[in-house]
Structure 1
């Protein structure tokens, strides 16, 4: 546990150094909310979901990418791969919980004719899944810019695609549209059930993919090859 806490502390310090990331985390969901609050109440809540997913995924991407240079030394120091991943995710989950609470309170007191419990559920699932998606992108893609472009593509498709289409179900945050429809439009429980199923499947796929990608990357041990090359 101590090692995971150490990794979590390092991740939070890295995010703290990136003031631009912190500004995105704090202000982007609010900007999304305010842009549609005056004319489309339900849409403004959905935009908060998109803002949270984007902000948490971006923070996870930056934190995981920045940790690449330290991971070989931590591995040599006795840290296991799962401790590195879980420690970083724990920090991001805690940060996401702190950030999402004020936005839930904003919706809770600003919007009355919605199902607030379901809105809280969507935010909790986003806090859980979005960092996994960001860390997975950092494990698969070599540069932050490429990961950021993928995040932009995913969020853009989430906004533009028809949520009832089959292709939109392949997006990692589709569940927020379904549960959000149940919470905002007061529809039947079928939307809630489909959203929960999608969230469970997405979570499982991301965990398995992250485990495989992290295992492959951490086993490459570039630092050993560098040492061997230097000794010749």
Structure 2
């Protein structure tokens, strides 16, 4: 457990060292919220959750890519693969939780006639899902640009696809539309249950994918050449 905390501390220091990135992460969801604040109050809540998911996924993508150079040295120092990915997940989940609090407070005091508990649940699931999603992209895709393009495609599809369409359920943040409908439009609890099941399932699946992809990558010996 000590090694996991050590990796988490290293990851947090790396994130905190990039103050410009933190500022962008803080402001980016606000731009999504403000773009719909005037005439579409319900849409502004949905958009701020999407902005939060984009910001955290991007942060996780770059954090995972930046850790590739130090991971082999940590492995030689006795750290195992699960120490590395669990520590990084813990650090980024902490950053996501801190980042989501002011946005929940913004919705709480700026919006009326919504189910605030459901809004808090959306943001918690967004943090839980976005971090392993970004780390999975960094583990699978070799370059940051490719991961960024995938994120752009996912967020774009999340905005334009009909949430009632079966195909939209494969998107990682489909749960936000379902629980958001429950919170904003005061629909029946079926929306809440479907969104909760989707969010928890995706979080577990993405976390398992991060563990598997990271383990495979760390077992590779790129410095060895066989004749």
TM range (shorter): over 0.9
Cα distance in 2 between the residues matched to 1:82 and 1:141: 20
| Equivalent residue number for residue 207 of structure 1 | 207
| Equivalent residue number for residue 69 of structure 2 | 69
Between 1:202-211 and 1:146-155, the stretch displaced more is: 202-211
Contact 2:81 2:214 in 1 (8 A): yes
Contact 1:32 1:44 in 2 (8 A): yes
Cα distance in 1 between the residues matched to 2:89 and 2:207: 11
Cα distance in 1 between the residues matched to 2:18 and 2:140: 22
Deviation at 1:15, TM superposition (A): 1.9
| Equivalent residue number for residue 100 of structure 2 | 100
Q: Mapping of 1:37-116 within 5 angstroms?
A: 37-116=37-116
| Equivalent residue number for residue 129 of structure 1 | 129
| Equivalent residue number for residue 195 of structure 2 | 195
Confirm or deny that 1:36 pairs with 2:36.
yes
Deviation at 1:205, TM superposition (A): 1.8
Q: So what's the TM-score if we normalise by structure 2?
A: 0.96
**CA RMSD between the two structures:** 1.4
Q: Write out per-residue CA displacement over residues 42-65 of structure 1, whole angstroms, 9 at most, x where no aligned residue.
A: 000000100110011001001110
Structure 2 unaligned runs (5+)? none
Structure 1 unaligned runs (5+)? none
Deviation at 1:23, TM superposition (A): 2.3
Contact 1:181 1:187 in 2 (8 A): yes
Contact 1:56 1:127 in 2 (8 A): yes
Deviation at 1:212, TM superposition (A): 1.6
Deviation at 1:210, TM superposition (A): 1.6
Confirm or deny that 1:4 pairs with 2:4.
yes
Q: Write out per-residue CA displacement over residues 136-194 of structure 1, whole angstroms, 9 at most, x where no aligned residue.
A: 00000001111011011100000011110011100000001000110011111110011
| Equivalent residue number for residue 179 of structure 1 | 179
Cα distance in 2 between the residues matched to 1:198 and 1:93: 19
Q: So what's the TM-score if we normalise by structure 1?
A: 0.94
